[in-house]
């Protein structure tokens, strides 16, 4: 009996990983995985590394060897490890790295070597605007404009007329500031002020200036627990308006450490975070449930979107590898070219967080089904409605 696509993908989650010796002896396809399992981005990078252990070790008649490295959240190490994966390990594709700045830094390297990169990062700038280098990158999270649209829609429906921004000082913060500012202007929402912050530095002065602008709401643009300090400072200073976040803040550490102070925080993010409230008709629900069950059974901690971003990258490669293998042998530049082409032709393919429809112009391929409005309460995320 032929399995449905979803059933076949779910079956992958039940496959035990091959022994290390068997992987090395039999591997025909090599995939590198780079995560920030240690360092400043560990709250995001550790789930990336954990999810790699769930990726399928067989693709049809081929076996897959995953070569996993930790870049310690350091861009220079990311670049060095990508070079190692390309020149010494001779990988056919790479999943990672963890941070948007890290991913942007390695695009020239993968493009020169013709190695597809599955980027589990937030910033749309890794794939937009499309050019000869970025055509080698495929992004497994929704592009910024989709998430911003959801936030703007929620703000308008809830009477928000002015917003202050507190943005982390990196490529992610810069891109999000530009995208949100453009959409807010078009929606008639005034930008009250813009402040920047850094990790592990006091934000009291920035928060005080922000509150002095008297905005209806605040949008904190940061990733992982780096977004926590501005939120806590706002609460401590008595801010009464709505506090919004980007999908980069969907870390369990953010919820755990923030505790009562992050109750009511709003964000547009993956429906996987409110899995039990997801519609049964959602084409990603069965896959999301299978992934969450496997992750929590194997890892012993709650699954969040960051690991699912890596897992979806693996699912996309799982679909493309047999197609590419019809044209060339793994380990060759011809195979990597064919793999890139196959990824770009992905259509109506469900992942754990949305449905992918890639094209030469769109290397994220996700639509509005990949994000919902969420609110933090009862130590987790719940649907907030539009």
94-128 confidence digits (pLDDT tens)? 999 998 899 999 999 999 999 999 999 988 899 99
Please tell me the predicted confidence (pLDDT) of residue 345: 98
The confidence score (pLDDT) of residue 15 equals 45
Sign of the CA dihedral with 267 first, then 273, 277, and 279 last? positive
Phi, psi (5° rounding) for residue 266?
-110, 145
The CA distance from 68 to 382, in Å, is 33
141 touches 122 (CB < 8 A) = yes
pLDDT of 23: 41
pLDDT tens, residue order, the chain (386 aa): 444 555 555 555 554 443 333 344 455 999 999 999 999 889 889 999 999 999 999 998 899 999 999 999 999 999 999 999 999 999 999 999 998 899 999 999 999 999 999 999 988 899 999 999 999 999 999 999 999 999 999 999 999 999 999 999 887 899 899 999 999 999 999 999 999 999 888 999 999 999 999 999 999 999 888 899 999 999 999 999 999 999 989 888 899 999 999 999 999 999 999 999 999 999 999 999 999 999 999 999 989 899 999 999 999 999 999 999 999 999 999 999 999 999 999 999 999 999 999 999 999 999 999 999 999 999 999 999 65
pLDDT in tens, 267-304: 999 999 999 999 999 999 999 999 999 999 999 998 98
Distances, alpha carbon 43 to alpha carbons 37, 340, 379, in Å: 8, 30, 17
Helices and strands (DSSP H and E) totals, the chain: 13, 15
First to last CA, the chain: 41
Cβ distance 115 to 308 under 8 Å?
A: no
User: Mind listing the domains of the chain with CATH numbers?
Assistant: 5-143+281-367 (3.40.50.2300), 144-275+371-383 (3.40.50.2300)
Contacts by 296-302, CB closer than 8 A, 24 or more apart: 298/50, 298/53, 298/54, 299/50, 299/53, 301/50, 301/252, 302/252
Return the closest-CA partner of residue 369 out of 147, 44, 158: 147
- Tokens read off for 385: 């409605």
Q: Could you tell me which of 124, 47, 154 has the C-alpha nearest to residue 366?
A: 124
Confidence (pLDDT) at 219: 98
| Model pLDDT, residue 57 | 93
Predicted pLDDT of residue 22: 36
Rounded to the nearest 10 degrees, the angle between the axes of helix 100-113 and helix 75-87 is: 30
**Would you say 363 and 135 are in contact if contact means Cβ atoms under 8 Å apart?**
yes
| Strands 380-383 vs 62-70: parallel, antiparallel or unpaired | unpaired
How, if at all, do strands 242-245 and 380-383 pair? unpaired
Cα-based distances in Å from 14 to 210, 238, 369: 50, 49, 26
Residue 252: per-residue pLDDT:
85
* Pairing label, strands 117-119, 93-95: parallel
The reply to whether the predicted model has a pTM over 0.85 is yes
Up-side HSE of residue 268: CA atoms within 13 Å toward CB?
25
Rounded to whole angstroms, how far apart are CA atoms 87 and 82? 9
Instruction: Compute φ and ψ for 46, nearest 5 degrees.
Output: -65, -45
328/330 Cα distance (integer angstroms): 7
Residue for token pair 């990158």:
137
19: tokens are 């022994």
| Whether the Cβ atoms of residue 74 and residue 41 lie closer than 8 Å to each other | no
Q: Which residues contact 250 (CB under 8 A, 6 or more apart)?
A: 267, 269, 270, 273, 304, 305, 306, 381
Share of the chain above pLDDT 70, in %: 92
């Amino acid at each position: 009996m032929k399995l449905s696509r979803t059933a076949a993908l779910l079956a992958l989650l039940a496959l035990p990983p091959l022994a290390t010796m068997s992987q090395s002896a039999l591997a025909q396809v090599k995939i590198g995985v780079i995560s920030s399992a240690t360092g400043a981005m560990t709250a995001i990078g550790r789930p990336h590394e954990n999810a790699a252990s769930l990726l399928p070790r067989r693709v049809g008649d081929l076996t897959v060897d995953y070569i996993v490295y930790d870049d310690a959240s350091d861009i220079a190490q990311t670049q060095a490890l990508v070079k190692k994966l390309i020149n010494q390990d001779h990988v056919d594709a790479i999943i990672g790295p963890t941070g948007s700045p890290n991913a942007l830094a390695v695009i020239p390297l993968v493009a020169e070597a013709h190695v597809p990169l599955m980027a589990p990062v937030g910033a749309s700038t890794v794939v937009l605007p499309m050019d000869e280098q970025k055509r080698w990158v495929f992004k497994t999270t929704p592009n910024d404009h989709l998430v911003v649209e959801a936030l703007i829609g929620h703000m308008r429906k809830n009477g928000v007329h002015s917003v202050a921004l507190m943005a982390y000082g990196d490529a992610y913060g810069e891109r999000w500031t530009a995208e949100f500012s453009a959409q807010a202007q078009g929606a008639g929402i005034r930008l009250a002020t813009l402040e920047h912050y850094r990790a592990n530095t006091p934000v009291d002065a920035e928060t005080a200036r922000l509150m002095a602008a008297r905005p209806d709401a605040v949008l904190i643009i940061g990733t992982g627990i780096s977004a926590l300090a501005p939120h806590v400072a706002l609460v401590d200073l008595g801010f009464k308006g709505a506090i919004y976040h980007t999908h980069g803040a969907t870390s369990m550490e953010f919820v755990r450490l923030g505790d009562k102070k992050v109750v009511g925080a709003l964000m547009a993010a993956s429906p996987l975070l409110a899995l039990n409230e997801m519609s049964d008709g959602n084409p990603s629900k069965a896959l999301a449930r299978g992934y969450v069950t496997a992750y929590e059974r194997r890892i012993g901690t709650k699954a969040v979107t960051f690991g699912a971003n890596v897992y979806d990258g693996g699912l996309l490669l799982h679909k493309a590898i047999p197609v590419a293998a019809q044209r060339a042998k793994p380990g060759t530049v011809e195979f990597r070219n064919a793999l890139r082409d196959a990824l770009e032709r992905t259509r109506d393919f469900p992942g754990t967080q949305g449905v992918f429809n890639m094209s030469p112009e769109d290397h994220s391929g996700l639509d509005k089904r990949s994000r919902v409005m969420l609110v933090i309460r009862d130590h987790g995320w719940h649907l907030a409605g539009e």
